[in-house]
Amino acid sequence: MNSEKVIVRRALLGVSDKTGLVDFARALERRGVEIISTGGTKAALEKSGVRVRAVEDFTGSPEMLDGRVKTLHPKIHGGILARRSEAAHQAQMRQHGIEPIDLVVVNFYPFEETVAKSGVSIDEAIENIDIGGPTMVRAAAKNHDDVAVVVDPADYAEIAQEIEANGGAITAATRWSLARKAFARVTAYDCAISNYLGGHTGAPGEGPLGETFSLTMEREQPLRYGENPHQVGALYGNFLKIAEQLHGKELSFNNVVDISSAINLIIEFQNEPSAVVAILKHKHAVRCRRRRYAQGRMGQGFRHGSRFSLRRNNHRQSAVGPRFRGRRE
């Protein structure tokens, strides 16, 4: 991996989500960065007074096929993929008039948002499959030794600050982090497309579930350990949106399994008017107690149920951690 900083002299910007775009472009412009763009991104930047070089001028080829072919050109991908340390690459760039691109800022056509709409047609969904964007992102991420790639508007401010603090440069560590994030975004995008199309086979009698189904999830937090203390573990998905840790050690894998079982138990008793208390050990409810209570006396029902459960539980000494689970309205 190239440990050197990469000075950003030329950036290609092409985004569907224009959140923060103008401010980021202005930060690049203040550093003297040449900005290349096309389509709606170019129009938005020019409207805000940012100087932009059209992709068509950069490549010498016009946009064609109703915008389906804009950036799929050797001068774009050569400028992104060329290795700066390879003399042969540099010679070929000079031979073919290819200029280097140091920063790629791209997010994709909103496929996920499009197919989430009610009544969307298959043709409309397919028209929102981005081709050029993921291609540039993959190219830039592959060549992260020499190119930085940004796929998330939430990163604009931090990247602008780093460029300013480093005399116009982006560090190797940041480029590597951005490359990993870029590949993860491409994967999630492709999964969404594959899952949607998989449910539209057109075969008679086939339901919405395709031949394959793919998932991508972000890591929420590392776990204290995996299923056993010598193993590592991490929590992925949206678990922490439904469960909040109030105190105690960092969660382990077994804690998460116990909490998941407790949540399922709560759902099972969601219409129960009584106080419900349970002790869970290794994801099993070793004791579950219901107790009716007088109006306004829910807390008393919980306390009584808890004492009863502990008395009847043979493992009361190990009933610690996320073992108690109650339901109250």
Q: How many Cα atoms within 13 Å fall on the side-chain side of residue 285? A: 18
Q: What single DSSP character describes residue 287? A: E
Three-state SS letters, 105-118: EECCCCHHHHHCCC
The reply to whether 142 belongs to the active site is: yes
Catalytic residue chosen out of the listed positions 5, 142, 181, 200: 142
Token pair belonging to 111? 């496929």
* Single-letter amino acid, residue 135: T
Active site residue 18: no
Q: Is 273 exposed, middle or buried (0-12, 13-18, 19+ CB in 10 A)?
A: exposed
Burial 232-249 (b: 16+ CB within 10 A, else e): ebebeeebeeeeeeeeee
Q: Which residues are catalytic?
A: 142, 282
